[in-house]
């Protein structure tokens, strides 16, 4: 299997480690490479990889909407979100999927509703599809949630804020509300967890959506144990 990740930047991505765990489990020989591609070069690079024997690629910031335009065929989720994070190169051409939708559903099922989603990019679009549009959209620049919120719910960070130590999160998580941070290794979630707030992490969703991508490319579905192993491996890297 030849696969990879296209984004800008991608150097901190944990996706190669996750897919190495999956390939090892299923005894699949292959590689998963990182491609740092500026927006103006996305279409050309994606087309090249499709002609170079790649099974497919994952797509991350800032290319998810451009990837939807690139693909010849879109899944229902990708079409609804107008965003693609997984491309399969096939006899039908480039087929676009949005496995962020399944990934988010997998981690957010037990979290209280409503969801107040901070951000307006591809990840936020996937959440709206997963929740069938039943979310509260929050402008990260306004720095405030709507008034008269219910006593429980979940704030979701679907912005890039949190990658840098000096980032400040613009929204105060209300008391008794849960918090999902789609970034990984973010210090915000640890601050919120100290307040006894229910928290889910970006690396959990990353593993879930990666498992969906892996199944699209190979036909093999990573189960609970191999996904847990992948999650353990990437989290151990944070403490090294």
For residue 57, whether the previous peptide bond is cis, meaning omega lies within 30 degrees of 0, is: no
Active site residues: 64
d(CA 62, CA 240): 29
**Do 33 and 39 contact (CB within 8 A), yes or no?**
no
How many C-beta neighbours within 10 Å does residue 140 have?
Answer: 15
Q: Which two tokens stand for residue 114?
A: 């409503």
d(CA 176, CA 182): 20
Q: Which two tokens stand for residue 239?
A: 């403490």
Q: Which two tokens stand for residue 228?
A: 């847990």
Its sign, for the CA torsion 205, 208, 214, 217, is negative
d(CA 145, CA 181): 16
């Amino acid at each position: 299997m030849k696969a990879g990740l296209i984004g800008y930047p991608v150097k901190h991505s944990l996706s190669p480690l996750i897919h190495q765990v999956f390939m090892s489990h299923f005894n699949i020989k292959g590689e998963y490479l990182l491609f740092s591609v500026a927006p103006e070069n996305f279409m050309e690079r994606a087309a090249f990889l499709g002609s170079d024997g790649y099974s497919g690629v994952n797509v991350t910031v800032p290319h998810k909407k451009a990837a939807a335009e690139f693909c010849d065929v879109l899944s229902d989720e990708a079409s609804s979100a107008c965003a693609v994070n997984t491309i399969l190169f096939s006899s039908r051409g480039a087929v676009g999927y949005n496995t962020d939708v399944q990934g988010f559903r997998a981690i957010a099922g037990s979290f209280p509703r409503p969801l107040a989603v901070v951000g307006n990019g591809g990840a936020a679009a996937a959440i709206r599809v997963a929740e069938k549009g039943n979310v509260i959209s929050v402008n990260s620049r306004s720095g405030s949630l709507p008034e008269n919120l219910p006593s429980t719910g979940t704030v979701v960070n679907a912005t890039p804020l949190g990658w840098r130590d000096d980032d400040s999160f613009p929204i105060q998580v209300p008391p008794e509300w849960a918090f999902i941070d789609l970034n990984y290794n973010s210090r915000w979630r640890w601050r919120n967890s100290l307040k006894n707030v229910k928290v889910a992490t970006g690396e959990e969703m990353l593993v879930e959506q990666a498992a969906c991508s892996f199944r699209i490319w190979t036909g093999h579905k990573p189960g609970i144990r191999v996904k847990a192993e992948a999650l353990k491996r990437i989290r151990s890297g944070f403490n090294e």
